[in-house]
Every structure is written in C-alpha cells, then in structure tokens.
Structure 1
Amino acid sequence: MNPWQTFKQQYLIKFWNPVPAVIAAGILATYYFGITGTLWAVTGEFTRWGGHALQIVGIDPSDWTYFKMIGFQGSPLDRTDGLLLIGMFGGCIASALWANNIKYRNSPHKIRIFQALVGGVIAGFGARLAMGCNLAAFFTGIPQFSLHAWFFAITTAVGSYLGAKVALHPIFRIPLNLKKVTAQAPLKQNPAQVKNRFILGSSIFMLLAIIGIVLLFFKPMFGIALLFGTAFGLLIERAQICFTSAFRDLWVTGRTHMAKAIIIGMMVSTIGTFAFIEAGIAPKIFWAAPNALLGGLLFGFGIVLAGGCETGWMYRAVEGQVHYWWVGLGNIIGATVLAYYWDDLSPYLVADFEKINLLQKAGPYGGLIINYALMMACLALVLWWEHRFFKKRQAAKTQATVNASVQRPINVIS
C-alpha cells in the first residue's frame, strides 16, 4: 500500500480515537474564541433558523425579546454563527463521503419517531433556556469560567440519568424481527460508488476551504467561522463525538471513555482560554440562575430520550439516519418555543440573578484553580462510578452463578 493509500485509510476512512479528537476540538474552540471573541455554539443559530421558518409562514419574531437578545439580523449567510453551522454540516458530509458512510437508514416505528421528536423538543427548549447546549453551556462554557456552565453540567448529568431510566422503560421497546441465517453475509461495497463518493467528499471539502480562504480577505470573521466550522464537522463525524453517549453510557453500560475524553478536552481548553482572557478578550458569561439548572435538567433528559445531542444528531443526520432528522427538527422547534415564552419565564428564572465569572469572584488564579479542581473532581467521580458499576455487575454475575448451582437438582444414585 502506497503512502497516500495508507494515509487515506488511516485518517480519512477509519474512525478516529475520540480522546485526541475531543482534545483537538477543545484546542480549536480555544483558538476560535481567541480569534473571534465568541464561542463554538450551535443552538443559538438553530433558534434563529426557527425564527426564519416562522417568517416563511407569515410570523415575524424579530420583535421578540429573545431574538433581540441573541441577534436576528440578516440570514445565516450574514452571521458568523450561520457560517459556522454551514461549515459543520459541510465538514460532516465531506467526512462521511470519504468513508462511504452515507446510507439511508430509517426506523419507521412510531415510538422511535415520538422519542426523537419529543426528546428533541425538550432538549432544544432546555438548551436555549440555559443559553447554550452541550457546547456553549458545557464544553466551551466551563473553560470560559462561567459559573452557569457548572450549574448546567450538574443538572444535565441528573437529567440524563432520569432520561436513561425512562428510555429503558418497556413502553419504548419495539418488537424485534429475528431472521434465521445460515452464514454471515459478506460486506459488499461498490468500488465505483466508493471512488465517486470520495471524490465528491474531497470536492465539498476543497470548496469549503477555498470559500473560507477567499472570505478571509473580504470578511475575515466569516472566513474564520466557515473554516473552523468545517474542522469541527470533520472532527465530530470521524470521531463520532456525541455528548449524549458520554452521559448515557455512564448510567446504562458503565462505559466512561467519552466522558473522560470530554473532561480532558475541557482541561486542555481551559488553560488556553485563560491565556486569551488574560490578554484582554472578554469571556461569555451568563446568569448563574435557575434557568441554567432547569435548562440542564431538561436538556439532559431530552438528549437521552431522543438519542442524540446537538453534535450527535448533526453528524448522524448527514449520514442518512432518518431518526436524527426528527431529533434536529425537534431541537429547532423546542428552541423556538423557548424564544416565544422567554418573557414569561425570565422574570422568575433569570431576573435578579448575577452573571458570575469565576475569574472575577476568586481572582484570576483562584478562578483557574477552582475550575481545574472541579474538573478533577468530575474525573475522579467518573472513575469511581466506572469502578463501582463494573464491581456491582461482577457481583451480580457471581451471585447468579451461585443461585443457579444451588437450584440445580442433584441426582442421587441408589
């Protein structure tokens, strides 16, 4: 195999290890903040997309308080967040095409559609209530030293636990149609299709890269957003980065690989973000208020019920998994509903609460130490839970073996 084929197979076709990929995402998010002064975030733009959908049907939400707060001017092509999302979708598509990983996959069962849509609505509502999803209110929010992100993270974990309990209820189990087979079916790929898809994926990637570079000379922030978005899209699709699995797997299977990767990624991102803040770039700080607590609870519950978070449904949707089209639609609906009811909720959940910056409350190095101490505590808790989970599982297996041996009838030879 020549060097190009080796590189292609290793880095463009095979899935990537999530740990270095999440660390890379954390580094990219840090530099994106350092260059643009804003966050790697998606649900704010999805809310605007919901607003544009309302405009199409004759409803103008531009006077709503929430849209005035997050900005609603122009179209996605006129906003850095819009270009960032376009880049993310484009990067996901290019990456999936490289690996020939696009296939129409539909689960028509009504229960699955219900889970996807309702879970998506709950998650989208909760994310925008808390002013961010698993990115702005968690993965990039914590390195920004905003206390609200810690509120969100804690209740997201609780919500995901409750969501796992509900999602495992028998009512959500669909009947399986088992078929008897005599031999394993061989994996078939059309060589021409594989080649054409790789070329198409490369063309999409090159187009995004060229447009991004050209924009750097005319509208630098737009070019940066498109290029960084493309890189984020490549990362989340190739490494299958899904925050839902990080939380859900803790409770269901005891697997902690993704959870540990995310914590390590935030640790790496924190020091770089701190350096940029010390250099004079203002972090994005939101209310450490009940909206963050309730939003995290709803978000955690919703993503597990739906089966995917914002990053998770994005890359799975472009891979052809129809279930996640419904999740995405639910996300946009939920976020838009929150925007409509913001004026009714904010007096109780946001008003009179402070936006708490840990660096200001505890001093620059005090805030840095607090952030790292909390992340180390989270890592220790994850490791403890993993040990406890598998220890209990092994004890249950041992007890089941003992019970089976006791109940086994004994043949007496007379």
Structure 2
Amino acid sequence: MSWQQFKHAWLIKFWAPIPAVIAAGILSTYYFGITGTFWAVTGEFTRWGGQLLQLFGVHAEEWGYFKIIHLEGSPLTRIDGMMILGMFGGCFAAALWANNVKLRMPRSRIRIMQAIIGGIIAGFGARLAMGCNLAAFFTGIPQFSLHAWFFAIATAIGSWFGARFTLLPIFRIPVKMQKVSAASPLTQKPDQARRRFRLGMLIFFGMLGWALLTAMNQPKLGLAMLFGVGFGLLIERAQICFTSAFRDMWITGRTHMAKAIIIGMAVSAIGIFSYVQLGVEPKIMWRDQNAVIGGLLFGFGIVLAGGCETRLDVPRGRRPGALLVGRSGQRDRLNDSGVLLG
C-alpha cells in the first residue's frame, strides 16, 4: 500500500463505526486498568466551571458537589484533564487531516436557542446523575454499577421525548431554494488541504511529544493524554455519536450506531471484569432517583441541543463550541443544526 492509498483509506475516509467503537471499548478498559479511573468528561468540565467561578471570587470549593468530585489541582495535574486535552488534540488533528474544518454560525436563532436550552437541561441532568453517557455506557455498565443501567434506560426514554419534541413545527426552519442548471460537485482547494494536513500532523505529533515528556515524570498523566488522543481519533474518524444512536432509533429507525455502542460495551465489560478479578477496584456510584431523573433530562437535552460531549470535536467544523457551566449543570458545545449532529 502506497502512502497516498494509506492516507486516503485511514486518514481521510471515515471509519466504520462498529470496529471503531469496539476499539474505544478496548481503550477504555485499558484506561481504567492503568490509570485507575474511568473514561468520562463532564465531571472534568464541571471542575473547569468551578475553577472559573473561583477566578471571580466564588468559593465553589465549599459546595457539597465539588467536595464529592474534588476541585483540587488543575487540568494539567489531573488525569481527566490531561485525557480531555488529548481528546481535543486527537479530534482536531483528525479533522485537519481530512480537511473537514470550517467555522460557521448557525443560520437560525431557533438552532441557537435549541443548543442553549438543551445544553442546560442535559448538563443539569448529567451532573444530577453523577455522569453522562460515557460515564454510564463505557464505565458504569461495564463496571457493573446499577446506577448506570437506571441512567441508560432513562436516557433512552428521555431521548424519545426529545425526538418527539424536536419534530414540532416550531423547530422547522425555512429552506431557501436556489435554482441551478446542474448538480455541482464537491470540490476542495488542494493547497488548503495540504496545509491543513500538515498542521494536523504537527498537532498530532506535538500531542504525542507532550504526552511522552509528561510520562517521564508523571507516567499516569502522560498515559492519560495518549489515551485521550486515541479516543479523539476514534470519535472523529468514525463519527461516534451517542445522540444519533438514540435519536435515529426514534426518528428514522436506524440502529447501526446503537448496535456498535452495545457491542463496544460488551467488549469493555469483559476486559473490566478481568481487571476487577485482578484486584482493581471498580468505580461504583449510588443508584437512586437522581440517576433516573438525570437520565431523563440528559436524554431530552442532548436531542434538543443536537449533541452530547462526544461531539466536542470539530468534524467538518460544523459549529463553534461553547461551555455552559452552572452550579449544578454544564454542557459542552453549541450546534447550528438539529438534524445530523451528535
């Protein structure tokens, strides 16, 4: 296989979801076994929000919630923080390789309001349930935590209500028709594609170098960043999307992504069971009404907003990102379309 063939097949074309989600499940298993923690992002985002509030004189460290999830340190000294930075780098590099980066503003205020309101609802639900879909599907369920099953079922129900709600006429934006004489093929600027591919390589190897240098003094932090880069590449190249997995079942009847996630969870559960047998302590959360209510809110919110935290990457640059952090909730980013986002 020549370099150009490899580049097109693995760095530009999207990957099949099922093998990619299985790989993500395997990575999350090793991540748990090596670092002792689980693959999750919204808890760390909430810490970022708490530390942002501290800059404005708010004593967030005194809040009961932050005493549970711990507000000490910084993103550069926490395993979750380094992993998420690696995810950002991996996603951005992969998007640049394929020349799929473009910033644009939403064309409709309705989409902006969907993102903001849905984001607040989903963020509140994620914090109420002590985690989001990653914390439940790739950590909670494989680690045999009953709260994750409550959350997963409630999220599915909430996403059904969200799908029904977003089909209301108020969310239909007018489509402007333009007369053309023939179909126009999609084109790319070769020079721009080459520049972006090189920039993607620079970011990718820069992240690897940063991770390896960190690993020399703090092995777990460096390894966490390497895992994050791997997670980011898989999410962007395979377009892994939990929101579409739920939403598509209710709107179009497609279950391909949902099946991929189920298989990935099964693979992860086998590996995590092995680690638990070896003495690694599983991360078990309490199961109560908070998991059910949080799951309902999270499922409804992600469908309304058009995406969850796994879409923090920049595939095709469909929209700029934004954090909405509150005392009890957070959300990862804004979207400009309620149709094909995850």
* Counterpart residue number, 1:201: 200
CA distance in 2, matches of 1:321, 1:219: 36
For 2:328, the aligned partner's letter is: L
Task: Tell me by how many angstroms 1:58 deviates.
Answer: 2.6
Cα deviation digits, residues 119-145 of structure 1 (max 9, x gap): 011111101111110111223210010
SS of 1:76's equivalent in the other structure is coil
- 1:310-321 matches, within 5 Å, as 310-312=309-311, 314-316=312-314, 319-321=316-318
The answer to whether the 8 Å contact 2:123/2:329 transfers is no
- 1:348-359 matches, within 5 Å, as none
The answer to whether the 8 Å contact 2:51/2:71 transfers is no
* Counterpart residue number, 2:253: 254
Please state which structure has a larger fraction of its residues in helix. Answer: 1
For 1:8, the aligned partner's letter is: K
For 1:25, the aligned partner's letter is: A
CA distance in 2, matches of 1:53, 1:155: 31
Of 302, 317, 327 in structure 2, the residue corresponding to residue 337 of structure 1 is 327
The answer to whether the 8 Å contact 1:130/1:137 transfers is no
TM-score, normalization: structure 2?
0.94
CA distance in 1, matches of 2:186, 2:248: 28
For 2:103, the aligned partner's letter is: Y
Task: Tell me by how many angstroms 1:288 deviates.
Answer: 1.1
* Counterpart residue number, 1:152: 151
* Counterpart residue number, 1:404: none
The answer to whether the 8 Å contact 1:18/1:240 transfers is yes
Note closer, same or farther for the CA distance 1:123–1:339 as it changes in structure 2 (3 Å cut): closer
SS of 2:94's equivalent in the other structure is helix
TM-score, normalization: structure 1?
0.78
* Counterpart residue number, 1:7: 6
The answer to whether the 8 Å contact 1:89/1:315 transfers is yes
Cα deviation digits, residues 273-296 of structure 1 (max 9, x gap): 000000000010001110001010
For 1:329, the aligned partner's letter is: L
For 2:220, the aligned partner's letter is: M
Task: Tell me by how many angstroms 1:339 deviates.
Answer: 6.5
* Counterpart residue number, 2:335: none
Cα deviation digits, residues 335-361 of structure 1 (max 9, x gap): x33169xxxxxxxxxxxxxxxxxxxxx
CA distance in 2, matches of 1:215, 1:140: 25
Identity of aligned residues (%): 63
Task: Tell me by how many angstroms 1:15 deviates.
Answer: 0.3
CA distance in 1, matches of 2:244, 2:138: 14
CA distance in 2, matches of 1:157, 1:33: 25
CA distance in 2, matches of 1:139, 1:78: 24
CA distance in 1, matches of 2:305, 2:10: 30
Cα deviation digits, residues 85-118 of structure 1 (max 9, x gap): 1000110000000000001232131110000011
The answer to whether the 8 Å contact 1:93/1:319 transfers is no
SS of 2:175's equivalent in the other structure is coil
CA distance in 2, matches of 1:106, 1:15: 24
Structure 1 segments unaligned to the other structure (5+ residues): 341-414
The answer to whether the 8 Å contact 1:67/1:339 transfers is no
CA distance in 2, matches of 1:58, 1:169: 42
Task: Tell me by how many angstroms 1:186 deviates.
Answer: 2.7
- 1:51-90 matches, within 5 Å, as 51-90=50-89
The answer to whether the 8 Å contact 1:131/1:137 transfers is no
Q: Which entry has the higher C-alpha Rg, 1 or 2? A: 1
CA distance in 2, matches of 1:306, 1:339: 14
For 1:51, the aligned partner's letter is: G
Task: Tell me by how many angstroms 1:319 deviates.
Answer: 4.3
Tell which has more relative contact order, 1 or 2 (C-alpha 8 A, sep 6+): 2
The answer to whether the 8 Å contact 2:150/2:292 transfers is yes
* Counterpart residue number, 2:216: 217
The answer to whether the 8 Å contact 2:120/2:329 transfers is no
- 1:24-35 matches, within 5 Å, as 24-35=23-34
* Counterpart residue number, 2:160: 161
Aligned residues between the structures: 330
Task: Tell me by how many angstroms 1:217 deviates.
Answer: 1.5
